[in-house]
C-alpha cells in the first residue's frame, strides 16, 4: 500500500535514502520538472492549455497544423516553446549529481527544453525530442534554437532552401523508435523508478512506466497521478524542493 508525504523536507529525506541504496535508478519526468525554471507546464491551472490563443495549443502542436499553418505554428513555437533564458533548477541539478555518484542510470524525459543536459546529465532519453535540434527536411542539416529565433517567418535551410522542422514529436507523430527502445530498456533494468513532474496522461510515453519490474516506485508530483495507487511512496509536494538533499 502506498504512503503519501506532503512535507518537502520529509520527501527529500525519503528520496535521499532510496537513491543512496539504488544501483540503477531511473527518473521518468515531465513538464512539472521545469516549472521552477520558469517554463510553464500544460495541464495545471496556470498551464499552457488554460491560456487563450487563436487555436487550442493541442491543435497548434499537431503535425497537421504544422503542415497546413506553418507560419502560425512557428509564431507559437518561437513565443511559447523555446525558452532559452531558462536554467536548471534543483531537481535537474540533483539528478545530474546522482548520476555522477553512480546512483542514477538514466533520465527518461517528456520535456523538450534540454535542461537535464544543461545541468550535467549525460544519459538522457528525450521521448519528445528537443527544441535545440531543428532539422532541414530536405538535406538533414541541423540548426540550433538560437538560429530559429533569429529567422522570422518559416525558417528555410541555408544550404538547400528546404523547410526546417523542430526535432520535436508533434501530436499525430510517432515517437523515435531508438529513443523509445532505449527508454524501455532503462526502465526495465532499473531497481528504483522515480516518476516526477508528470500527470501520466500523455501516451504512449506514460505507458513506459509499466515496464518497470524493480524494487520500488516513487512518485513526486504536486497533483495526483494514475501511478499513486501502486507506488511505494508518493511525495505530493514541490519537486524542486523534494530534490533538495
Known catalytic residues are: 128
Q: Which residues pair with 217 in a beta bridge?
A: 193
Distances (CA, A) of 211 to 11, 53, 129, 197: 25, 37, 21, 19
Q: By the 8 A CB rule, do 172 and 64 touch?
A: yes
- In terms of Cα–Cα distance, which of 233, 198, 238, 203 is closest to 27? 198
- In terms of Cα–Cα distance, which of 208, 210, 241 is closest to 5? 241
Alpha-carbon span 80 to 242, nearest angstrom: 27
C-alpha cell at 12: 527529500
Query: If DSSP codes are grouped into helix, strand and coil, which group holds residue 187?
Result: helix
Alpha-carbon span 2 to 35, nearest angstrom: 26
Alpha-carbon span 179 to 176, nearest angstrom: 5
Query: If DSSP codes are grouped into helix, strand and coil, which group holds residue 161?
Result: coil
CA dihedral 207, 212, 216, 222 (to 10 degrees): -20
Residues in the chain: 245
Amino acid at each position: 500500500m502506498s504512503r503519501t508525504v506532503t512535507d518537502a523536507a520529509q520527501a527529500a529525506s525519503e528520496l535521499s535514502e532510496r537513491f543512496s541504496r539504488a544501483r540503477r535508478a531511473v527518473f521518468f519526468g515531465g513538464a512539472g520538472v521545469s516549472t521552477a525554471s520558469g517554463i510553464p507546464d500544460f495541464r495545471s491551472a496556470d498551464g499552457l492549455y488554460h491560456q487563450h490563443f487563436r487555436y487550442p495549443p493541442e491543435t497548434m502542436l499537431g503535425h497537421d497544423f504544422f503542415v497546413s499553418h506553418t507560419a502560425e505554428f512557428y509564431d507559437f513555437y518561437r513565443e511559447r516553446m523555446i525558452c532559452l533564458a531558462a536554467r536548471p533548477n534543483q531537481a535537474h541539478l540533483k539528478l545530474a549529481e546522482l548520476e555522477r555518484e553512480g546512483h542514477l542510470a538514466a533520465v527518461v524525459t517528456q520535456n523538450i527544453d534540454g535542461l537535464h543536459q544543461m545541468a550535467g546529465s549525460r544519459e538522457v532519453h528525450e521521448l519528445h525530442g528537443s527544441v535545440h535540434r531543428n532539422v532541414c527536411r530536405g538535406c538533414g542539416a541541423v540548426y540550433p534554437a538560437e538560429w530559429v529565433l533569429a529567422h522570422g517567418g518559416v525558417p528555410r535551410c541555408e544550404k538547400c532552401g528546404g523547410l526546417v522542422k523542430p526535432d520535436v514529436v508533434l501530436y499525430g507523430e510517432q515517437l523515435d523508435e531508438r529513443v523509445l527502445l532505449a527508454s524501455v530498456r532503462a526502465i526495465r533494468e532499473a531497481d528504483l523508478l522515480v516518476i516526477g513532474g508528470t500527470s501520466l496522461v500523455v501516451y504512449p510515453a506514460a505507458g513506459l512506466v509499466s515496464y518497470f519490474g524493480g524494487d520500488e516506485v516513487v512518485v513526486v508530483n504536486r497533483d495526483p497521478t494514475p501511478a499513486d495507487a501502486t507506488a511505494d511512496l508518493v511525495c505530493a509536494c514541490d519537486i524542486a524542493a523534494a530534490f533538495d538533499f
